[in-house]
């Protein structure tokens, strides 16, 4: 008898890839999404297949799933600045009420619960690279605080359920991830640069471009999440690529890869934009034997093919 998994936010960028992975691994996959930022197109290839079902539902409301569950991956949340700046209250609600409802379901079903957290819990970090033991430098009342604090609260709620109710839990702190099914206009640097370069528009770099990010290909991240879910680790674990790059260097990489003639233009840095971002993944290496394997240029090449296809549909 196959195991059953519920993936909230399963029609989103990361959630849909997790649906693919667990379905291919033989699990019964239940995908739940309210389609506010997710899309049925991300999971359309799974419709009609055995062991896959889709439930359109807002997880801030009571969650009902018939039958047993072995694992819940709570990935429901707006996850890009353009989303959580436009939907600040919804972002806070899914991190608080949504996490509470999903944890309640895990308790009722005696299922393991894995929370999708984020490197944003570190805010604009004063420690570099960032270890899981770092408590962060977050502005709770800034415009980005709705996402940062929603995830920090979700982590606290997850650990409370683990300690008080004894349910098995895991917390993955996800650093910048990219790959197919990202939205062209989700506001993050990578899809924005690709869209601009492929359409020969100026690439918009905020500030002087010296801020850094660490980009992980989606297949590597999914592998890390699967390994974490199978482990006994309950404390947060960083998953990301420690290869740090400045945003300006990254923009130039995209221009070179796309063979674009676009110029780079500079605009004011948004409020609260972190200046540095690099994971310390020594914990993931030790506990999960995990390290990202896909070279950035290879991953970007695969992602470029996806964006070309999407732009061709416009």
Q: What is the Cα–Cα distance from 148 to 127, expressed in whole angstroms?
A: 17
* Under 8 Å between Cβ of 250 and 188: no
Torsion of CA 263, 269, 272, 276, to 10 degrees: 50
Query: Of 267, 219, 270, which is closest to residue 241 (Cα–Cα)?
Result: 219
Q: Which of 147, 161, 178, 217 is catalytic?
A: 147
Catalytic, 147? Answer: yes
Q: Which residues contact 77 (CB under 8 A, 6 or more apart)?
A: 9, 91, 94, 95, 98, 116, 147, 150, 151
Q: At what angle do helices 189-198 and 296-312 cross, to 10 degrees?
A: 60
- Give the integer Cα–Cα distance in Å for 57 and 47: 17
CA distances to 13, 24, 29, 165, 262 from 221, rounded to whole Å, are 12, 16, 19, 29, 31
Q: Mind telling me the catalytic residues?
A: 147
């Amino acid at each position: 008898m196959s195991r059953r998994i519920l993936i909230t936010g399963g029609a989103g960028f990361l959630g849909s890839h997790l649906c693919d992975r667990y379905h291919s691994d033989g699990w019964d996959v239940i995908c739940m999404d309210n389609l506010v930022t997710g899309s049925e197109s991300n999971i359309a290839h799974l419709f009609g297949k055995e062991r896959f079902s889709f439930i359109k539902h807002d997880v801030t409301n009571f969650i009902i799933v018939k039958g047993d569950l072995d694992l819940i991956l709570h990935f429901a949340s707006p996850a890009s600045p353009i989303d959580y700046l436009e939907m600040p209250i919804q972002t806070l609600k899914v991190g608080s009420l949504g996490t509470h409802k999903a944890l309640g379901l895990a308790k009722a079903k005696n299922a393991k619960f894995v929370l999708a957290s984020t490197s944003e819990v570190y805010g604009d970090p004063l420690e570099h690279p960032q270890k899981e033991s770092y408590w962060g430098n977050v502005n709770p009342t800034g415009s980005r605080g709705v996402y940062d604090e929603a995830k920090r609260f979700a982590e606290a709620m997850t650990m409370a359920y683990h300690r008080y109710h004894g349910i098995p839990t895991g917390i993955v702190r996800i650093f910048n991830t990219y790959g197919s099914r990202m939205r062209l206009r989700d506001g993050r640097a990578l899809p924005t640069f690709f869209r601009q370069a492929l359409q020969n528009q100026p690439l918009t770099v905020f500030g002087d471009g010296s801020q850094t990010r660490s980009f992980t290909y989606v297949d590597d991240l999914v592998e890390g999440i699967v390994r974490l879910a199978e482990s006994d680790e309950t404390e947060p674990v960083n998953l990301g690529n420690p290869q740090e790059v400045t945003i300006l260097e990254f923009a130039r990489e995209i221009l070179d890869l796309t063979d674009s003639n676009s110029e780079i233009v500079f605009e004011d840095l948004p409020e609260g934009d972190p200046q540095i971002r690099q994971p310390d993944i020594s914990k993931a290496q030790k506990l999960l034997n995990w390290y990202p394997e896909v070279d950035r240029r290879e991953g970007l090449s695969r992602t470029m093919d996806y964006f070309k296809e999407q732009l061709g549909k416009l």
